[in-house]
Amino acid sequence: MDYRKLKSGSDVRGVAVGEEAVLTSDVAKVLGMAFTRYLSEKTGKPASQLSIALGRDSRVSGPSLVAGAAEGILAAGAQAIDYGMCTTPAMYMAILTEGFQPDGSIMVTASHHPWMLNGLKFFTAEGGLGFHELDDVLAIAETLQPEAIHAEAKPVETSFLPTYADHLKKLIINGVDPEVQKPLLGLHVVVDAGNGAGGFYANMLEELGAWVEGSQFLEPDGTFPNHIPNPENKEAMASISAAVKKYGADLGVIFDTDCDRAAIVDHTGKEINRNRLIAMISVILLEEMPGATIVTDSVTSSGLADFIKEWGGEHYRYKRGYRNVIDEAIRLNEAGINCPLAIETSGHAALRDNHFLDDGMYLVTVMLIRAMQLKQQGETLAKLLEGLREPVESSEIRLKVLADDFAACAKQAIEHVLDFASDHPDWHVAPDNREGVRISFDVDGELDSAWFLLRLSVHDPVMPLNAESDVPGGVQTVLRKLYEALEGREGIDLAPLKAAI
């Protein structure tokens, strides 16, 4: 088997249910042994001195994949510890938490993807494995055969999720009022866990005094019968918005399956995700740290950049991919730049105060603390977004790259667009863009009022095209201009772009 085909960014992912399954318990067994050997080489410890923790979200294939990975770990000579149902952020926090501190951990999850899929995320003391580190694990896996891996021993079963919940509870108590045990009295929060692993959050808030009436889909169900657990999904966001309005809550909180991403809605049911989510957490951090740098992915709006600047911050656009923005934020801090946040528009967010761990539940908790503080002042979270200019229009189109060497073809297309821009004074190349090509235009006399970003996908032979406008008709204008530049170019399917104009 070619294990490299399972790679999806810095994770392993594939169909795990049915006749088409490629991520089976045998595959997990091989990956468990491969990760153990990788960790032994990395730490210099023999496998017999290593302990590796395993956790899973609610997917139906989770238990068999955990069992397979555990057998691979045990067969390699290390100790395997099964945490049962867990969240992805908790699997890293365990490595840092006294009394637990495994040498590494594996989370079995496919995040927001359909229930038939599953995956593995790997952690060491330095955090989640990066792209190249995962390559090393997969290279080891290529040398192993599942039928040769067998272990009589069983993993040790314990639970870490209550300890992780206590960590969040202390954060809230210290952030609101360390003198009281129920600091959230008077705050009404609707929690939507999407039948994933995050249902415990509602119980935790209730223990702290919050009213959680209207919370929904808290019970784990690996078929996700109610809606896709995804803070970017329209149906999911409509569901939590409706619940907040029905029950008159102060806010709503929604998680993806493994809780590394989240979003909220305000008391009116308005979605606080994507650019609004970035704006809100940026304000909270900039109130404490004026002048701080906020690292985002490349598709954030021009209005967000202006908003962060108005709050005294520096907006630093970087590449798509949560590992990319996290690694860049870490690099900036090492270079002496005050950068407390790395965040994608998808909701992946990592705060420096939380070890730059990609943790949607921690993000939401920080905003919930601010919500309680504002309620005590007679205000709401919506106050934090005053002055945020949002686009009038937005669009995303995915252009398939047909060439065999899709990366080279996409690169040539981007270079062609840049050359075209240099010959057209009305094409303004963004000076702060670090991925693909971002061009802005003056529409209806408004300076830089519309833009497009064309880039290569992190994972697939696709060029995502994002366009936004602050004036009506601006998206059509910039899409027509881009089509004019690319028309007749081979290797890219321009039909979706042509259809959009």
Asked if 20 and 14 touch (Cβ cutoff 8 Å), the reply is no
Share of the chain above pLDDT 90, in %: 96
Task: Scan for tokens 């606080």, then name that residue.
Answer: 272
Report, as an integer, the average pLDDT of 303-331. 95
**CATH, range 3-159:** 3.40.120.10
Is the pLDDT confidence value at 22 over 90? yes
| 268 vs 271: CA distance, rounded Å | 9
| Residue 316 confidence (pLDDT) | 97
Q: What is the pLDDT of residue 75?
A: 98
Task: For tokens 């906020």, name the residue.
Answer: 294
Q: What proportion of the chain, given as a percentage, has pLDDT over 70?
A: 100
Closest among 38, 29, 41 to 66, alpha carbons compared: 29
Q: What fold does the segment set 393-500 form as a domain?
A: TATA-Binding Protein (3.30.310)
Asked if residue 82 lies in contact with residue 70, where contact means CB atoms within 8 angstroms, the answer is yes
* DSSP one-letter code for 321: S
pLDDT value of residue 491: 95
Distances (CA, A) of 257 to 9, 195, 223, 369, 491: 18, 7, 11, 23, 37
What are the backbone dihedrals phi and psi of residue 27, each rounded to the nearest 5 degrees, phi first?
-65, -45
pLDDT at 158: 97
Query: How do the domains of the chain map onto residue ranges?
Result: 3-159, 163-385, 393-500
331 has a pLDDT exceeding 80: yes
Answer whether residue 458 shows pLDDT above 80: no
Q: Is there a contact between 291 and 312 (Cβ–Cβ < 8 Å)?
A: yes
Strand 446-454 to strand 462-469: parallel, antiparallel, or no bridges (unpaired)?
A: antiparallel
pLDDT, mean of residues 459-467? 92
Task: State yes or no: pLDDT of 459 exceeds 80.
Answer: no
User: What pLDDT was estimated at residue 500?
Assistant: 94
Distance, CA of 279 to CA of 372 (rounded, Å): 18
Helices (H) and strands (E) in the chain, counts: 14, 22
| For range 37-50, the mean pLDDT | 97
The alpha-helical segments, DSSP class H, found in 272-359 are 274-288, 302-310, 322-334
Confidence class for position 269, pLDDT limits 50, 70, 90: very high
Structure tokens at 293: 């740098």
Each residue of 470-484: pLDDT tens digit? 999 999 999 999 999
d(CA 244, CA 380): 14
What's the confidence (pLDDT) of residue 181? 87
Choice between 281 and 8, residue whose per-residue pLDDT is larger: 281
Tell me the fold of 163-385: Alpha-D-Glucose-1,6-Bisphosphate; Chain A, domain 3 (3.40.120)
Is residue 80's pLDDT more than 80?
yes
Digit-coded pLDDT (tens) for 136-165: 999 999 999 999 999 999 999 999 999 999
The pLDDT value given to residue 349:
95
Q: How far apart are the C-alpha atoms of 22 and 223, rounded to whole Å? A: 19
Q: Which of 19, 33, 122 is closest to 77 using CA atoms?
A: 33
Give per-residue pLDDT as tens, 90-144.
999 999 999 999 999 999 999 999 999 999 999 999 999 988 999 999 999 999 9
Please give the order of strands across the beta sheet that includes 393-400. Answer: 393-400, 462-469, 446-454, 437-443, 428-429
The number of C-alpha atoms within 13 Å of 133 and in the hemisphere containing its C-beta is 18
Comparing 1 with 290, the larger pLDDT belongs to 290
Residue 25 contacts by C-beta under 8 Å, 6 or more apart in sequence? 64, 65, 67, 68
Nearest to 37 by CA among 73, 80, 91, 81: 73
Q: Is the pLDDT of residue 421 over 80?
A: yes
The answer, yes or no, to whether residue 419 has pLDDT greater than 80, is yes
pTM of the complete model:
0.92
CA-wise closest residue to 192 among 256, 245, 110: 256
d(CA 215, CA 240): 9
Among candidate residues 248, 170, 184, 222, the one with its CA nearest the CA of residue 58: 222
Tokens encoding 50: 């290593």
What does the pLDDT read at residue 322? 87
Query: What is the Cα gyration radius of the chain?
Result: 23
Looking at residue 1, its pLDDT comes to 85
CA distance 485 to 149: 56
Q: Does the fold of domain 393-500 match that of domain 3-159? A: no
> So what's the pLDDT on residue 20?
93
Q: What average pLDDT does the segment 208-217 reach?
A: 98
Residue type, position 267, single letter: H
Give the list of residues 6+ apart from residue 223 with CB closer than 8 angstroms, or none: 60, 115, 195
Determine contact, residues 400/270, Cβ cutoff 8 Å.
Answer: no
Output 9 or 50, whichever has higher pLDDT. Answer: 50
